[in-house]
């Protein structure tokens, strides 16, 4: 299949808002893929590439988009995928050298489309979720069966390839496999401790740490560490490997967090710890300057047995035996009442953590699921920002202004600088209000975005401040979401970058 055919299919998806029609378009596309095109093709139609992050900057891709076109055969789905494999393993300027020949054989529209795939920014209103629905309908297995296969082997391309090769029988083989990471179970956000205990009792409460989620697989001395996005991070954390190898088991899969410590043994902010997850070089230096310890809170597999269907009470007991040293387990307690849980929350915040997680003792481990089994309650701050731009939504938000560009006042109190983007927290009423009113303040528009003069103020909740080279403020808000529109505030009354600097220092140990 030619890339031009793939792009045409994407254009069809962009033009329809009907979910059923989108699914029909995807099914038709899937049926046209040859055996070697299935894995990359499924990822492409979901709006992304199979290889993940290529570490190719915008400067290189921008240059390639302007390169002179040459005559040649059309680029195929398989050829692009093969080239992207080579780019993934290449370094420096070799990446551009590998990409240039295929870009020379693309027209301008196709170049823009491929760049969108590389950055995961193909706005077509159809992502993995809709592709899984299409696979479920095409296979006749149903959405739930496909979801169960995916959660334990979360590669949508391999999933469809397996169905094509082995048929529906793969639905019966969903056991955990060592060194094949699965999606982590997620906690639902709750407004308060009291809200949780209105519906639940018989729980455990744990500190919610500001670390890096890790899933660790061990088979004898072989240990591998995976991120929440299922990327192999083993090389980054040799200090954790030694801890896991010392545990009194032969095989296990552990769920937990990697937590960084300062020289006094206090937990350091995520931003500082994140430096260890993004750099392969200078590991020994990082181990000395940013020591890391694991904090385990769940056990999923033990010496050949999948224990995800056991209750959390049982898994907790087994975890305590597998990890006997409390130093490597998340602090946990069984509250007798909400007052004791509230005290535990305050204790966690005082220790530099994000808050607490409340877990039902009879809950099973559900990979990739967020439901009323685990609840997280976090300390949050709010600031007032101005809207600098808004992007047109897609999927359910097609035709509405959604992703907001957020700004604060600079040091002079005259200009505005950007501190992030968010589409979270927006109600249908907010979406409609922004769509109806923001265009009145437009100063510039392109295909995707309406840029506006600073006139509308919003209250933003967030969970920390990160330094950033992406935004002109030098900072970005972590997990920003809209609380409300501040009709009562003028843009001149919002927070400034000086406030952001103070907040950043408050969460930094250095």
Q: What number is the average pLDDT over the span 20-43?
A: 95
Q: What number is the average pLDDT over the span 436-448?
A: 93
208 catalytic per annotation: yes
pLDDT of residue 407: 97
Q: Are 344 and 205 in contact (CB under 8 A)?
A: yes
Cα torsion 325, 331, 333, 337 to 10°: value is 170
pLDDT of residue 510: 32
Q: Could you tell me which of 435, 447, 402, 399 has the C-alpha nearest to residue 16? A: 399
Q: In which residue are the tokens 């296990």 written? A: 252
Checking if the pLDDT of 238 tops 80, the result is yes
CA–CA dist 320, 307 (Å, integer):
14
Cα separations in angstroms, 463 against 210, 349, 381, 506: 10, 12, 7, 12
SS3 121: coil
Q: Could you tell me which of 146, 176, 172 has the C-alpha nearest to residue 159? A: 146
SS3 46: coil
Q: What number is the average pLDDT over the span 332-360?
A: 93
| CATH match for 186-378 among 3.30.465.10, 3.40.50.1820, 3.30.160.150, 3.30.470.30 | 3.30.470.30
Task: For residue range 157-212, list pLDDT tens digits in order.
Answer: 999 999 998 887 776 666 788 999 998 999 998 878 999 999 888 999 999 998 99
Q: What number is the average pLDDT over the span 31-46?
A: 96
Q: What are phi and psi of 12, to 5 degrees?
A: -65, -40
Q: What number is the average pLDDT over the span 10-17?
A: 89
Checking if the pLDDT of 468 tops 50, the result is yes
Kindly state the greatest CA–CA separation across the chain. 74
CA–CA dist 7, 13 (Å, integer):
10
CA–CA dist 238, 346 (Å, integer):
33
pLDDT tier for residue 479 given thresholds of 50, 70 and 90: confident
pLDDT of residue 3: 93
Long-range contacts of 333-337 (CB under 8 A, 24+ apart): 333/204, 333/205, 334/203, 334/204, 334/205, 335/203, 335/205
Residue 241 structure tokens: 């490997």
Average pLDDT, the chain: 90
pLDDT of residue 172: 65
Task: Pick the more confident residue, 91 or 219.
Answer: 219
Q: Are 482 and 507 in contact (CB under 8 A)?
A: no
Q: What Rg, from alpha-carbon coordinates, does the chain have?
A: 24
Pairing of strands 251-260, 212-219: antiparallel
Q: What are phi and psi of 105, to 5 degrees?
A: -100, 15
Checking if the pLDDT of 246 tops 90, the result is yes
Q: Could you tell me which of 74, 7, 5, 78 has the C-alpha nearest to residue 36? A: 78
Percent of the chain with pLDDT over 90: 63
pLDDT tier for residue 503 given thresholds of 50, 70 and 90: confident
Task: For residue range 109-167, list pLDDT tens digits in order.
Answer: 999 999 989 988 787 778 888 999 999 999 988 888 888 788 777 889 999 999 998 88
Q: Are 156 and 46 in contact (CB under 8 A)?
A: yes
Residue 361 structure tokens: 């003792």
Cα torsion 300, 304, 310, 312 to 10°: value is -30
Q: What number is the average pLDDT over the span 239-244?
A: 94
pLDDT of residue 115: 92
Q: In which residue are the tokens 């706005």 written? A: 123
pLDDT tier for residue 424 given thresholds of 50, 70 and 90: very high
Q: Are 312 and 294 in contact (CB under 8 A)?
A: no
> Active site residue: 95, 208, 359, 421, which one?
208
Checking if the pLDDT of 58 tops 70, the result is yes
pLDDT tier for residue 28 given thresholds of 50, 70 and 90: very high
pLDDT of residue 281: 64
Checking if the pLDDT of 5 tops 50, the result is yes
- For 281-312, the DSSP string reads S-HHHHHHHS-EEEEEEEEEEETTEE-TTS-H
Q: What number is the average pLDDT over the span 365-392?
A: 90
pLDDT tier for residue 356 given thresholds of 50, 70 and 90: very high
Task: Pick the more confident residue, 44 or 264.
Answer: 44
Checking if the pLDDT of 85 tops 50, the result is yes
Checking if the pLDDT of 253 tops 90, the result is yes
CATH 2.40.50.140 is held by the domain 381-506: yes
- For 332-398, the DSSP string reads EE--SSHHHHHHHHHHHHHTT--EEEEEETTPPP-TT-EEEEEEEEE--EEEEEEEEEEEEB-GGGB
pLDDT of residue 509: 35
Domain segments of the chain as ranges: 3-167, 186-378, 381-506
pLDDT of residue 395: 66
Angle, CA of 466, 471 and 477, to the nearest 5°: 35
Residue 25 structure tokens: 């378009």
Task: Pick the more confident residue, 99 or 280.
Answer: 99
CA–CA dist 117, 121 (Å, integer):
6
Checking if the pLDDT of 496 tops 90, the result is yes
**Model pTM score:** 0.70
Q: Are 149 and 46 in contact (CB under 8 A)?
A: no
- For 164-218, the DSSP string reads HHHGGGGGG-----TTS--PPPEEEE-S-HHHHHHH--SEEEEEE-SSEEEEEEE
Residue 6 structure tokens: 């793939």
Query: DSSP assignment, residue 68?
Result: P
Checking if the pLDDT of 278 tops 80, the result is no
**3-167 has which CATH code?**
1.10.3260.10
Q: What are phi and psi of 334, to 5 degrees?
A: -115, 95
Task: Pick the more confident residue, 55 or 359.
Answer: 359
Residue 377 structure tokens: 């309650």
Query: DSSP assignment, residue 267?
Result: B
Across the beta sheet with 305-306, the strand order is: 222-227, 212-219, 251-260, 292-302, 305-306
């Amino acid at each position: 299949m030619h890339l031009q055919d793939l792009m045409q299919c994407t254009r069809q998806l962009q033009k329809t808002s009907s979910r059923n029609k989108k699914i029909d378009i995807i099914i038709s596309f899937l049926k046209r893929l040859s055996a070697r095109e299935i894995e990359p093709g499924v990822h492409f139609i979901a709006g992304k590439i199979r290889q993940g992050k290529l570490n190719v900057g915008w400067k290189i891709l921008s240059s390639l988009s302007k390169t002179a076109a040459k005559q040649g055969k059309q680029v195929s789905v398989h050829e692009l995928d093969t080239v992207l494999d080579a780019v993934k393993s290449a370094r420096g300027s070799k990446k551009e050298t590998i990409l240039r020949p295929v870009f020379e054989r693309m027209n301008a529209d196709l170049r823009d489309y491929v760049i969108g795939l590389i950055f995961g920014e193909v706005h077509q209103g159809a992502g993995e979720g809709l592709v899984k629905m299409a696979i479920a309908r095409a296979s006749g297995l149903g959405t739930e069966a496909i979801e169960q296969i995916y959660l334990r082997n979360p590669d949508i391309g391999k999933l469809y390839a397996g169905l094509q090769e082995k048929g529906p029988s793969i639905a019966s083989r969903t056991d955990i496999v060592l060194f094949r990471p699965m999606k982590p179970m997620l906690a639902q956000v709750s407004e308060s401790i009291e809200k949780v205990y209105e519906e639940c009792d018989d729980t455990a409460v744990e500190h919610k740490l500001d670390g890096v989620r890790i899933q660790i697989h061990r088979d004898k001395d072989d240990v591998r560490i995976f991120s929440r996005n299922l990327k192999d991070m083993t090389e980054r954390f040799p200090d954790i490997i030694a801890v896991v190898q010392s545990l009194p088991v032969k095989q296990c899969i552990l769920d937990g967090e990697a937590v960084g410590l300062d020289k006094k043994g206090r937990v350091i902010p995520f931003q500082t710890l994140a430096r260890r997850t993004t750099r392969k070089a200078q590991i020994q230096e990082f181990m000395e300057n940013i020591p890391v310890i694991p904090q385990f809170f769940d056990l999923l597999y033990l010496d050949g047995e999948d224990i995800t269907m056991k209750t959390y009470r049982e898994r907790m007991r087994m975890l305590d035996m597998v990890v006997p040293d409390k130093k490597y387990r998340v602090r946990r307690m069984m509250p007798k009442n909400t007052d004791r849980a509230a005290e535990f929350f305050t204790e966690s915040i005082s220790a530099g953590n994000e808050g607490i997680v409340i877990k039902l003792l009879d809950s099973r481990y559900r990979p990739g699921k967020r439901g009323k089994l685990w609840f997280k309650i976090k300390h949050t701050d709010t600031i007032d920002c101005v809207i600098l731009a808004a992007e047109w939504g897609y999927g359910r938000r097609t035709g509405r202004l959604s992703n907001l560009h957020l700004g604060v006042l600079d040091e002079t109190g005259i200009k505005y600088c950007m501190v992030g983007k968010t589409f979270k927290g927006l109600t249908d009423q907010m979406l409609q209000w922004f769509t109806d009113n923001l265009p009145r303040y437009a100063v510039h528009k392109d295909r995707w975005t309406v840029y506006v003069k600073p006139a509308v103020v919003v209250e933003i909740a967030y969970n920390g401040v990160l330094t950033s080279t992406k935004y002109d403020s030098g900072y970005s808000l972590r997990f920003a979401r809209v609380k409300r529109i501040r009709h009562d505030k003028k843009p001149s009354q919002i927070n400034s970058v000086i406030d952001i600097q103070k907040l950043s220092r408050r969460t930094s140990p250095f």
